[in-house]
Structure 1
């Protein structure tokens, strides 16, 4: 989940960079790669747009599998948080812009791949339609769009009460928790073709046979707990003061004891060569 505010505190900025990188590592590991859309990874001269790029780490990783000279553009509503000791190479540039703003005219039909993840859950259906319309306008005829969103489906062991609080918080913090399940219909209505949809279940904590990956997943969930807990009252969730103060520890115990999984949706689709 992309953070919705920035900080001038160097330590908080460092923590956010680390959190975003951990989130990226998990998505890449559980999804078995960076891109599902069948773009040609060998063709030079392609242009790729990363919407809500956050720290730009996805672009950095994509750069390692694309031919030299591939151009990357990332945009976000906040200045991109990156490691000052590891600046972006010249072929990666970032732009300050909201997904709700009109996108630059020069981006129209300009990108071979448009990528966005973990953002649409924050917006209403009307806003989602506007965002998708803007992103689709940036895809070249014959190009692809790839989207990644979470799900509100509860897959965990019912005994994992405190882990389940994550969903209680999510239902209060997110406007559109099941938007990912409806993306295929949205893209179809927008005129896209070759639409594909995968669900990926992230096994976290003791549910994952890879202990290191399971622990990374648990740490990622705890960072989101911390962010949301600061913006929610315990009365909304129905926890005692003691439970609320120890929620992170209790949720971690659940993740280390019971089956805890989270579902995500990956959708990719092609813009037809004609009719656009």
Structure 2
């Protein structure tokens, strides 16, 4: 989201914040947030960062001592000792994993909201599945799989429309929703390093989307896409670029008197 890892108006002048990234993968968001805070004068060295995921092979081999990683699925309850302890809870591109009726977007949002301290912020980021027409055929195919996965899971074609209501239902306040366009590869204007980084970040999405489609879409899934789509998408993004629109919703846990 531009050069910012978080849009919620968090007071970063405070020290000793606890920050959780659900679905952290390799920890990229946590590291980007730390870099952003350092560049903007926050005392981020006092902060405690936690990343959770279901695939420990993605975790960095030697993370800094103030960044910890734990195995945790959004389909299961978070540790009781974590409840009410975080100043920021962030989750990006994970909601497609919910499995109604056992878990729903509403139940996951309630679980994440319960991790917040009074005054803490929950920020959720999901893809707006209304595909941008200028994107190339490889990305359009990937987004089609993503949309069909969402529908097959009972979440509708664009699960991002449910985020704001889910926050309202757990009585968060100061809830805001934004649409953010992110440019990748040749369309990213941030220099060669950012072009390459954005291309890699988009390429990393292909595997999880296809893995879900292989199970969710047995009648329409094309197995050869596992071989052809990753390279096609990488070449397309490097040469032509891509634009995706994300829905960002954040809300604050009430401060009780």
Give the structure-1-normalised TM-score.
Answer: 0.72
Q: Give the RMSD, CA atoms, in angstroms.
A: 3.3
Residue in structure 2 matched with residue 122 of structure 1 by the alignment: 97
CA distance in 2, matches of 1:94, 1:252: 29
In structure 2, the CA distance between the partners of 1:253 and 1:156, relative to structure 1 (3 Å rule), is farther
Deviation at 1:118, TM superposition (A): 1.1
Deviation at 1:246, TM superposition (A): 4.5
Give the counterpart of 2:127 among 140, 144, 150: 150
Q: For 1:236, what is the secondary structure of its paired residue?
A: coil
CA distance in 1, matches of 2:228, 2:73: 36
Q: How many matched pairs? A: 241
Larger radius of gyration: 1
Unpaired runs of 5+ residues, structure 1, are: 1-29
Q: What pairs up with 1:11-30 in 2 under 5 angstroms?
A: 30=1
CA distance in 1, matches of 2:163, 2:250: 9
Unpaired runs of 5+ residues, structure 2, are: none
CA distance in 2, matches of 1:234, 1:218: 29
Q: For 2:250, what is the secondary structure of its paired residue?
A: strand
Give the counterpart of 1:201 among 181, 201, 207: 181
Q: What pairs up with 1:16-165 in 2 under 5 angstroms?
A: 30-64=1-35, 65=37, 66-67=42-43, 68-79=45-56, 81-84=58-61, 86-89=62-65, 91-124=66-99, 126-157=103-134, 160-165=136-141
CA distance in 1, matches of 2:69, 2:201: 25
Q: Report which stretch shifted further, 208-217 or 148-157.
A: 208-217
CA deviations over 1:149-175 (Å, ceiling 9, x no partner): 1121111227x3333111222134443
Residue pair 2:27, 2:60 contacting (<8 A) in 1 also = no
